[in-house]
Structure 1
Amino acid sequence: MSEFKRITPEQAQELLAKGAVVVDIREAQVFAAGHIAGAIHLDNHSVADFIRAADLDAPTLVVCYHGNSSQSAAAYLVGQGFSDVYSIDGGFELWRNTYPAETAQGSAE
């Protein structure tokens, strides 16, 4: 079984440019206030549907606040059969500081 990889925002940006999927596991109201452009909001209620519909071989980036919780979520996705999973070190906070123009606002729906 594969394991997830920890990557920097710069490495994440390269993968996003190649079509990687980014999932954000922060609370819905925090996600709505700001997230990586194109991110999918995941929580305990939506993760099962996401897994059923996902391409398990597509690069999948997981982001949280500071890069800690995303590691657990990334490990969970690997356990569900995802083969190319990354946790973004520094989380959304570092992403926002690195790429302020590449954030978006709005709800997950």
Structure 2
Amino acid sequence: MSEFKRIPPEQAQALREQGAVVVDIRDPQSYATGHIAGSRHLDNQSVADFIRNADLDAPTVVVCYHGNSSQNAAAYLAGQGFSEVYSLDGGFELWRGIYPAETSQGTSE
């Protein structure tokens, strides 16, 4: 798969329960305020290390605020060789409304 797929929170949650990697591309302050439990914060400084150390075949879900920026990031990861990349439609804002118990606070987990 050289492209990414857009998925709703319910499908992202199912993938997450199966061990998918969840990466959050929002700014560090927003991530620290609240993020999907178990997700990893990615920014321009950390993305190269993430790619270098990643399992390119592991399902990877990209999260932003509302599901727009994550599409560009997901396309980038797909172009870097990730075989199963998803963009979370509705982003963290929609996720938080559906799965409030599945969110965490603080910096990188």
Partner SS, residue 56 of structure 1? coil
- Aligned position for 1:78: 78
- How high is the TM-score relative to the length of structure 2? 0.98
> What does 1:52-91 align with in structure 2 at a 5 Å threshold?
52-91=52-91
**Structure 1 outlier segments of 4+, above 3 Å:** none
- Aligned position for 2:17: 17
Once residues 78 and 86 of structure 1 are traced to their aligned partners in structure 2, the CA distance between those partners, rounded to angstroms, is: 9
How many residues matched?
109
* Runs of at least 5 residues in structure 1 that lack an aligned partner in the other structure: none
- Aligned position for 1:43: 43
- How high is the TM-score relative to the length of structure 1? 0.98
* Runs of at least 5 residues in structure 2 that lack an aligned partner in the other structure: none
Identity of aligned residues (%): 78
Q: Which amino acid aligns with 1:101?
A: A
Contact 1:28 1:108 (C-alpha < 8 Å) held by counterparts: no
Q: Which amino acid aligns with 2:54?
A: A
Q: How much has 1:108 moved relative to structure 2?
A: 1.9
Q: How much has 1:42 moved relative to structure 2?
A: 0.1
CA deviation string 1:7-60 (max 9, x = no partner): 000000000010000000000011000000000000000000000000000000
- Aligned position for 1:3: 3
- Superposed CA RMSD in Å reads 0.9
Q: Which amino acid aligns with 2:6?
A: R
Q: Which amino acid aligns with 2:68?
A: N
